[in-house]
Structure 1
Amino acid sequence: MLASLLVAGTLGAAALPPDLAAVAAAERGFALDAHRFGTRLAFLAHFDAEAWLFRPTPVPALPALARDPDDGRLLEWSPKQVGVAASGELAVSTGPWAAHAAGAAQYAHGHFLTFWKRGTDGIWRVQADGGIGHPAPAPAAPGVAALTDPPGAATPLDAAQRQQRHAALEKADDALRAALGTDPAHAFDTIADPALHAMRDGQPPADGAAALELVRKDASGLGRGARRALDLAASGDFAYTLGGDADCIDCGSYMRAWRWRNGAWKLLVDLSLSNR
């Protein structure tokens, strides 16, 4: 199973621009370490000290992983779509996963979503990781697709510009969470990027118009939990937000990747989970 996932995620990756290919390579390296050393050790090795893990609400990853038993469960995955900021240090990846208990023949399936950040040492580390489960998907075409435009020359924002872009991101995330509580059927209509990638438990991911149709079927209020973290690329064109609170079961949890387009933040990837 791992070999087929990695082959599907590797073929065609050479055609990606270098920054996008580096994110795909980091994800594949993470998956290979899980195969060689076990899932728990691989997660501990690749997660940043301040990373988040969704269970289903966001929790600090390293303390949660430190408490996990080594139960022999096999988790295999590979990237199918990646995106990266123009400044090349903040990224997103998503793709299929498959898992089974030690000694079991039957696999569970789904898709993961991972936010990455490249440190000053050049190493990519996981900032947040979550996912959905769904029935076994049809075999995917080989290759890795780009979620963002190929990175070009990027000029970092100055302090004032960064503060403005940060405030605009908070406002966009707040507006979406508020709309999910009052008009969930239309909450995404004006804020979604045309290439929106939506992930919902029990369903395969969807893109574009199909993604909008998928999110319109959400239970009322799903994905409006309290924001727990956000980060903004130095270039100001890419960011993520995440949230959820166990004290608000009906609010659900979320991971969102955003890109700056035509003077506004647009939602590029949305994973919303029930807390039940």
Structure 2
Amino acid sequence: MSRAWTVLPCLVAGVGPAFAQAPSLEPVLRAELAFARMADEKGIRTAFLTWLTEDASVFSPRMTNRKEQYGPEPGDPGHLVWYPEAMGLAASGDLAWSLGPWTYAVKKGGAVLVHGHFLSVWRKQAGGGWKAVADIGVPHAAPERPVEPFAIWDAAPMKRLTQSKGSDATPVLLRKEADLAAAWVEKGGLALLPELAKAGRVLRPRRMPLRDPAEIEKALEADRPGARWEPARIQVAAGGDLAWTCGESGPDDRGATASFLRIWTLEGGDWKVLFDVRLPHPAPPK
């Protein structure tokens, strides 16, 4: 059995001090763990159909929806295992994110074929429960050492920055996305650098999540210029401090296209990118 799964039962007990500061995050963690347990016990298809909203955005690597990805029978017979190493919550308590490692094997107990990291966006539902509204992941080599849960960020809410009552951040974020897309045409991935939050992270295939500024800059240099986009989806927390966007971009100057998901956070009164995930699409057959 994968070590990642053996961590799950002790996670809730293991982060007790953090929840003393942020009790409202615990339901999101419990939802994530229940999601992972269902995948272990009942399979990938059942778990994702249960824990993703009907309109959830998923990426493989092209952007699609829950039904198209997981609806057809019999579904993926493989064994998918994951756990959250870090989570964050909007001040309004209605939008959250989770980040962590995953592994994939052909069957339960089989050899791990692929390692990676996922980023999920969670939204509080009308009945008070939580479901994922977006899920994306990148594959990478096996880590040199096991990832420690909650080692990167504390399980605490985002800094409570709120907008005035009645304000809507959607137009502002659409302008930010448009400005970023325009800058990308000239600079490629380096256009993202001034838009990253202080704790901003970049996820790219074949790399562990990047935190070091020098490593981020080197990785972004590989993102070719010329890729334009408009977000296909945008959601903002009720408190106006956390949001996410996703869509598809391209073609770049070499004709390549990609899917993206970004999580935005208010920082010093300005919207900055907390996470940027980019999945290149396979080259079309010649």
Structure-2-length-normalised TM-score: 0.85
Aligned counterpart, 1:230: 234
- Indicate the percent of aligned positions where both proteins have the same amino acid: 29
CA shift for structure 1 position 122? 1.1
CA contact (8 A) 2:193 2:217 kept: no
- Flag the 1:167–1:10 CA change in 2: closer, same or farther, 3 A: same
CA contact (8 A) 1:206 1:214 kept: no
- Flag the 1:133–1:168 CA change in 2: closer, same or farther, 3 A: same
* 1:39-50 correspondence runs (5 A): 39-50=44-55
One-letter amino acid matched to 2:139 = G
Alignment partners' CA distance in 2, 1:200 and 1:22: 29
Q: Secondary structure at the match of 2:207?
A: coil
Aligned counterpart, 1:216: 220
* 1:235-246 correspondence runs (5 A): 235-244=239-248
One-letter amino acid matched to 1:31 = A
Aligned counterpart, 2:71: 66
Alignment partners' CA distance in 2, 1:190 and 1:7: 40
CA shift for structure 1 position 219? 2.7
Alignment partners' CA distance in 2, 1:141 and 1:235: 32
Residue segments in structure 1 that go unaligned for 5+ positions in a row: none
Residue segments in structure 2 that go unaligned for 5+ positions in a row: none
Q: Secondary structure at the match of 1:195?
A: strand
CA shift for structure 1 position 11? 6.2
Q: Which residue of the other structure, out of 203, 216, 228, is the alignment partner of 2:207?
A: 203
Aligned counterpart, 1:146: 153
Aligned counterpart, 1:87: 92
Alignment partners' CA distance in 2, 1:264 and 1:152: 13
One-letter amino acid matched to 1:218 = A
Structure-1-length-normalised TM-score: 0.88
Moved more, 41-50 or 14-23: 14-23
Q: Which residue of the other structure, out of 114, 132, 136, is the alignment partner of 2:142?
A: 136
Note the aligned Cα RMSD (angstroms): 2.6
CA shift for structure 1 position 153? 6.9
One-letter amino acid matched to 1:188 = L
Alignment partners' CA distance in 2, 1:10 and 1:140: 18
One-letter amino acid matched to 1:231 = Q
Moved more, 10-19 or 166-175: 10-19
One-letter amino acid matched to 1:251 = T
- Flag the 1:92–1:195 CA change in 2: closer, same or farther, 3 A: same
Aligned counterpart, 2:25: 20
Alignment partners' CA distance in 1, 2:16 and 2:133: 25
CA shift for structure 1 position 263? 1.9
Alignment partners' CA distance in 2, 1:11 and 1:215: 36
CA shift for structure 1 position 227? 1.6
CA deviation profile, 1:29-82 (whole Å, cap 9, x unmatched): 110111111111000000101111102121121232112533420000000111
Moved more, 242-251 or 211-220: 242-251
